[in-house]
Amino acid sequence: MAGKNPGASVSQLAPFKNERIFPGVDHPTVARAFPGAIAQVRAQLGKTYPLHIDGRDVTTSKTLDSVNPADPDEVVGKVCQAGVAEAEQALTAAQRASLTWRDVAPAERATYLVKAAEVARHRMFELAAWQVLEEGKQWAQAYNDIAEGIDFLEYYAREMVRLGTPQDLGSYDKEGNFYFYQPKGVAVVIAPWNFPFAISCGMCAAAIVAGDTVVFKPSSQSSVVGHHLVEIFREAGLPAGVFNYVPGPGSVIGDYLVDSPKVSLIAFTGSMAVGLRIIERAARTAEDQAYVKKVVCEMGGKNAIILDEEFDEDAVIRDVLYSAFGYQGQKCSACSRLIVTDKAYDRFVPKLVEAAKKLKIGPAEDPQSYMGPVIDRNAQRTIMQYVELAAQEGKLLYQSEVPSKGYYVPLTIAEGITPAHRLAQEEVFGPVLAIMRAKDFEQALEWANSTRFALTGAIFSNNQEHLDRAVRDFRVGNLYLNRSCVGALVKVQPFGGFKMSGVGTKAGGPDYLLHFMDPRSVTRQ
């Protein structure tokens, strides 16, 4: 098989353990390493990044500038753009590579992921610094994104070793039976910008270790970070054609990749509108298509936190602010609805607003900035429309000042919102928190379930009966009791929702890789 020796045998691996999350801006290692990493990255800004097809770098005449959202005059990198011709080259390369990659032993495929994790771990602060500048991610948000990507690599490697062992189903009469999994074929991975390393790495790693080959289309807003996967998988020695990197406009190559008869699986994370379009197009079958396409689709949320009459106020203020405004509310798991019961409302909401007023807003490279810019001008424009809507549908309790340069929007808190309002139903994907006053816990739970989405949710309460009821009836994919509704960890908190939040898959969970393979049963006399 082509490629370098991928490293130690997976049989020598210790049990999976989550990578350590961000230890804090004042931690000696962090305080020393992060400024240096940002300076190191800034010295490399403006480079041109090629496509990567069949193990080779491919340049194109058309490039896209990726900029720092805190300072759009600062070009992070110039990214070559794939057209239909390059997309087809990548699909052909992936299809050809799949004929050999599918027969590589599962445990051997897993070693490549372990090696990739080692490479990423060695570059932790540098990789995070790229996100600070290209994505406007705070130190902690960027660091944890890399840690999650490493977790996906390590966890899926171990899962494939488990799933790659044929299962003896026992005998019937004189017949023996066993059960195993085979790869689906060519996987198109379409990734978001908000977790540009973790989610991209997770989807690609799952496909690769399952034996599929990948055509990876990163988001246009995070294509430089997307190129890091090229660098990491190259250093890990992944054979040519197994991983192909084709950044390009969705309007040009998005439908082409989804529609291709060479593709057997599409893994997507992003908006509901795009996800539903992919599902619809993938259902169409071309005459020369040999597969019924599988779509692994994770979409958005309209997540709620419920506050009951009894809770720890300081902890709730900390966790609500982090859930709503961490990374500018640009997480599919972010809290956008705070539902407070009537008895707690007047004593709690003013304290929350006062705490929000103390949060600093500025460039993400400043470790004192709690909130930074949103991703680009289009996001800025869209979110500002929801800020205006908040003032129309409810009452603004707080709207922060923001820097004059960069793609900033104000931290916004509004009250007087009910399920009848658009602000309670539509995903905003920005720092706009709608506060809803429910008469009691029953109504709070009813309102929490009143949207088309079912991704994350949280409840803060010291009432065990209410907590038990929430477990049964607060219908979301990830429910948190007495903690924030963001920050799921691989393996221990598999992530994903249902309804219009996704198709019921759980990234980082024990059944995720099954979506990337087909089961086979063999009987022998």
Give the tens place of pLDDT for each residue, 49-67: 999 999 999 999 999 999 9
Q: How far apart are CA 355 and CA 384, in angstroms?
A: 22
Name the E strands within 242-319.
Answer: 243-245, 265-269, 294-298, 303-307
Q: Quick one: 174 exposed, middle or buried, by C-beta within 10 A (0-12, 13-18, 19+)?
A: exposed
Which pLDDT does position 176 carry in this prediction? Answer: 95
Mean pLDDT of 11-29: 91
Q: Measuring CA to CA, which residue among 186, 151, 70, 146 is closest to residue 507?
A: 151
Q: Give catalytic residues, as residue numbers.
A: 298, 332
Higher local confidence (pLDDT), 198 or 13: 198
Mean pLDDT of 7-36: 87
In this structure, which amino acid lies at residue 282?
A
Helix locations, 28-105, DSSP H: 28-42, 84-101
Q: Quick one: 299 exposed, middle or buried, by C-beta within 10 A (0-12, 13-18, 19+)?
A: buried
Instruction: Label the pairing between strands 456-460 and 303-307.
Output: parallel
Whether the predicted pLDDT of 8 surpasses 70: no
Question: Phi and psi for 250 in degrees, rounded to 5?
Answer: -60, -35
Look over the chain and give the mean of its residue pLDDT values, rounded to a whole number. 96
- What would the pLDDT profile of 306-351 be if each residue is shown by its tens digit? 999 989 999 999 999 999 999 999 999 999 999 999 999 999 999 9
Which pLDDT does position 12 carry in this prediction? Answer: 74
Mean pLDDT of 268-273: 97
Q: How many CB atoms lie within 10 A of CB 85?
A: 10
Q: How far apart are CA 271 and CA 333, in angstroms?
A: 12
**How long a stretch of residues is the chain?**
525
Which pLDDT does position 10 carry in this prediction? Answer: 60
- What would the pLDDT profile of 468-512 be if each residue is shown by its tens digit? 999 999 999 999 999 999 999 999 999 999 999 999 999 999 999
Whether the predicted pLDDT of 238 surpasses 60: yes
Whether the predicted pLDDT of 24 surpasses 50: yes
Quickly name the fold that domain 28-299+503-524 has: Aldehyde Dehydrogenase; Chain A, domain 1 (3.40.605)
In this structure, which amino acid lies at residue 501?
S
Which pLDDT does position 11 carry in this prediction? Answer: 58
Q: Measuring CA to CA, which residue among 122, 125, 150 is closest to residue 139?
A: 125
Which pLDDT does position 284 carry in this prediction? Answer: 96
pTM over 0.85: yes
Whether the predicted pLDDT of 2 surpasses 90: no
Which pLDDT does position 13 carry in this prediction? Answer: 83
Helix (H) or strand (E) holding 317: helix 313-325
Q: Which of 92-96, 307-311, 459-463 is least confident?
A: 307-311
Looking at residue 369, the DSSP 8-state letter turns out to be -
Q: How far apart are CA 432 and CA 178, in angstroms?
A: 53
Name residues whose C-beta falls within 8 Å of residue 148's C-beta, 6 or more positions apart in sequence. Answer: 19, 195, 197, 198, 202, 489, 490
Sequence spans of domains, the chain? 28-299+503-524, 303-488
Q: How far apart are CA 127 and CA 196, in angstroms?
A: 11
520 confidence band (pLDDT: 50, 70, 90): very high
Whether residue 413 contacts residue 448, with contact meaning beta carbons closer than 8 Å, is answered with no
Q: How far apart are CA 234 and CA 94, in angstroms?
A: 15
Which pLDDT does position 1 carry in this prediction? Answer: 34
Whether the predicted pLDDT of 229 surpasses 50: yes
Which pLDDT does position 44 carry in this prediction? Answer: 97
Which pLDDT does position 191 carry in this prediction? Answer: 98
172: left (phi over 0), alpha (psi -120 to 50) or beta: beta
Name residues whose C-beta falls within 8 Å of residue 496's C-beta, 6 or more positions apart in sequence. Answer: 298, 455, 477, 478, 502, 504, 505, 506, 507, 509
Q: How far apart are CA 496 and CA 185, in angstroms?
A: 24
In this structure, which amino acid lies at residue 220?
S
In Å, what is the CA distance from 111 to each residue of 77, 118, 139? Answer: 31, 11, 30
Question: Under CATH, which number does the domain 303-488 receive?
Answer: 3.40.309.10
Whether the predicted pLDDT of 37 surpasses 60: yes
Whether the predicted pLDDT of 3 surpasses 70: no
Whether the predicted pLDDT of 297 surpasses 80: yes
Which pLDDT does position 329 carry in this prediction? Answer: 98
Q: In percent, how much of the chain has pLDDT > 90?
A: 96
